[in-house]
Amino acid sequence: MMRSLWTAASGMTTQQLNVDTISNNLANVNTTGFKKERVEFKSLLYHTMENATSNENGAGRPVALQVGHGVRPVATSVNFSQGTIERTDNAFDFAIDGKGFFSVRGFNGDEFYTRDGSFKLSIMGDELMLTTSEGYAVLDNNGEPIMFENDVDLNRLEIGPDGAFRFIDAENNLVDMNMMFKVVQFRNPSGLEKIGSNLLRSTTASGGPLIEEDEDNITRSRIIGRSLEVSNVQVVEEMVKLIVAQRAYEVSSKAIQTSDDMLAQANQLKR
C-alpha cells in the first residue's frame, strides 16, 4: 500500500481539527473575555531509507534519504492577549486590564477563574451576592463571596483600579466598603483548562493561582468598572486561516485521489 494514502489522510484529519478550532473562535467572536485558540502541529515519524555518511576522504552521502509519514496535532494554544475594553455603564460589569483573572466558586466548592466580568446579583436573605450568570459566587481577597448590604445604593457603586469596592453615600462622600476582588495570575496561563461557560480551572501545568494583592514581583492588573473586555478574535484573520485550512484539506484529498489513480494504473499493467 502506498504510504502517501496514510500521509495525506493524516493531513485531512489534522486540517479538520484546525477548521473546528477556527470555527469555535468565530462562534465566540462576541463572547465576553473569550481568548482565541490555535492548533499546533508536528510531523510524524520519518522512515530513513539511507543514512547520511562520510569518510576521511570526504566521500559518501552528505544528506540522508528520508520519507515522512504525515502530521499530527499536539496542542491547542490559547492567545491571552488583551481584548478591547468597551464601556457598558452597567454597575456590575467589570473588565480586567492586565494578566489577571477573577476568582469564582462553583456549587461543589471548587474555585474557577474567568475574564468575563459581566456579573449579576443574587438574593441571599437580607444581603445581595455578586455572582456569575450561572450563579457562581464571585470571591473577594479573603476567598469569601462578595456580599452587599440592602441599605447600600448599588447604582452608586464604584470600583477602584485595585479592585476595591466603594460607594457614594447620600452626602456624595466616597465610602470604602472594605472588600475587593480576588484577582489572580498564573505562571503558565496556557496550562489552564477550559471547562466552558467562560470558566477555567488550574492544573499542574498552569501552577497554582498567585493572588495579585499578595505578590510583589508581578505586575498588577487594573480593574475597570462599568466596562467589559470583548473577545480578542479578529474575524478577518480567522477567515484567512479558514481559507488556508480548506485549501490544505483539498490538497490532501487530491493527494489521496492521485495515489488511488496510480494504484489503479499499476493494477492494469497486466492487461
User: DSSP string spanning 105-129?
Assistant: E-TTS-EEEES--B-EEEEETTEEE
Distances in Å between the alpha carbon of 178 and those of 37, 157, 160, 242?
A: 38, 13, 12, 49
Query: Under the phi-then-psi rule, with left for phi > 0, alpha for psi from -120 to 50, and beta for the rest, what region is 19?
Result: alpha
* Among the listed residues 250, 236, 252, 254, the one whose alpha carbon sits nearest the alpha carbon of residue 22: 236
**Torsions phi, psi for 36 (to 5 deg):** -70, 155
Q: How many CA atoms lie within 13 A of 191 on its CB side?
A: 12
- Grid coordinates standing for 154? 448599588
Helices assigned H by DSSP within 158-234: none
The pLDDT value recorded for residue 6 is: 92
- Residue owning grid cell 492588573: 221
What is the full per-residue pLDDT of the chain (271 aa) written as tens digits?
Answer: 578 999 999 999 999 999 999 999 999 999 999 999 999 999 998 988 888 887 666 667 788 889 999 999 999 999 999 999 999 999 999 999 999 999 999 999 999 999 999 999 999 888 999 999 999 999 999 999 999 988 778 888 899 999 999 988 878 888 889 999 999 999 999 999 999 999 999 999 999 999 999 998 999 999 999 999 999 999 999 999 999 999 999 999 999 999 999 888 888 886 6
Residues 70 and 9 sit within 8 Å (Cβ to Cβ):
yes
Is 83 within 8 Å of 193 (Cβ atoms)?
Answer: no
User: In the chain, what are the domain boundaries?
Assistant: 3-80+233-267, 85-229
Helix axes 3-27, 235-267, angle to 10 degrees: 160
Distances (CA, A) of 158 to 46, 124, 163, 251: 61, 22, 10, 56
C-alpha cell at 176: 470604602
Q: How far is CA 52 from the centre of its chain?
A: 43
Distance CA 1, CA 142 (A): 64
Q: What are phi and psi of 26, to 5 degrees?
A: -65, -35
Q: What is the pTM of this model?
A: 0.89
